[in-house]
Amino acid sequence: MQSSIVILLLLAVAAANLPFATSRVAGVFKVARKHFGWQALELAVLFALVGGLARLLESRQMPVHEQHWQFYVTTLALFLVAAFPGFVYRYFWRKPAL
């Protein structure tokens, strides 16, 4: 397996868990309580960024293949599966601050 693919997969797993790791929106804006809506928005933005990076890496090695909606639904499902450890930590393991 090429090193760029391994790096991309590790980056995708880290990006999928990032919204659940901090109570700041986008890692910058502090909010009193970060609701799930903010985390879902961050997941969508990070999914698009990782997808853009993957497309860039593919275009540097070969012509970019045309993808249909099935590809994006499948990759979104895999991205959400990669986000599961962060979700479990945030909502099930961590003790809420009183």
- 1-14 pLDDT, tens digit each: 688 888 999 999 99
Closest CA to 16 of 84, 69, 89: 84
Write down the pLDDT at residue 81: 96
Mean confidence (pLDDT) of the chain: 87
Are residues 50 and 15 in contact, defined by beta-carbon separation less than 8 angstroms? Answer: yes
Write down the pLDDT at residue 5: 85
- What's the whole-model pTM score? 0.84
